[in-house]
Amino acid sequence: MTYPRRVSIALAALALAVPAAAQCGYQSGTPQCFSFAPPPPVAGNVGEDLVLVSDKLKISGDIRFRTRNAWKPSGGNYTPTSTNPNAGVGDQLSSRLRINLDFTVNENITTFAQFNFSEVWPGGDAYSDADPNGNTNDFDGMAQAYLQAKDLFGLDETLRIGRSYFALASGLIYGSCDFLQFPAAGTGVWLSREFGAHKLEVFGIDNNGTITTNGLGNDVADGQRFVGAHARIDLGNELVAALEPYVLFGTADGDRFNAAQGNPDFTKDSWYGLAAMGKIDRFSWNGEIAQRNDDVPTGSDSTFVGYRVNVLADTGDLTGNVLNRVRLTRTDSEGRLHINPGDFNSAGLLHQYGGAWRSDLSTDQLGLTFKPTETLSVDLAYLYMDSTIPSGGAHEVDLMIAKKLREGAHAWVGYGRDEDDRQVLFVQLTVFF
* Domain contains 2: no
* 283 part of a folded domain: yes
Asked if pLDDT for residue 41 goes beyond 80, the answer is no
CA dihedral of residues 364, 418, 360, 79 (deg, nearest 10): 170
Residue 50 has pLDDT above 90, yes or no: no
**pTM, entire model:** 0.82
CATH of residue 136: 2.40.160.100
Residue 350 within a domain: yes
- Tens digit of pLDDT for each residue in 296-330? 777 778 899 999 999 999 999 999 888 999 999 99
223 has pLDDT over 70: no
Does residue 165 form part of some domain? yes
Give the model's pLDDT for residue 258: 57
**Does residue 1 fall inside a structural domain?**
no
Produce one character per residue of 202-238: b if its CB has 16 or more CB atoms within 10 Å, e if not: bbbbbbbbbbbbeebebbbbbbbbbbbbbbbeeeeee
Q: Which of 32-46, 78-92, 136-150, 275-289 has the highest mean pLDDT?
A: 275-289
Determine the structural domain holding residue 255 and report its residue range: 8-432
In a domain, 351, yes or no: yes
pLDDT of residue 377 exceeding 80, the answer is yes
Strand 186-195 to 409-418 pairing: unpaired
Residue 277 lies in a domain: yes
* Total number of domains constituting the chain: 1
- For range 254-260, the mean pLDDT: 57
- For 393-414, letters b (16+ CB in 10 Å) and e give beebebebbbebeeebbbebeb
Percentage above 70 pLDDT, the chain: 73
**Mean pLDDT, range 114-143, rounded to an integer:** 72
The reported pLDDT for the residue numbered 27 is 39
Q: Give the model's pLDDT for residue 56.
A: 82
382 domain residue, yes or no: yes
* Least confident window among 72-81, 303-312, 326-335: 72-81
The pLDDT of residue 20 is 33
pLDDT score at 170: 87
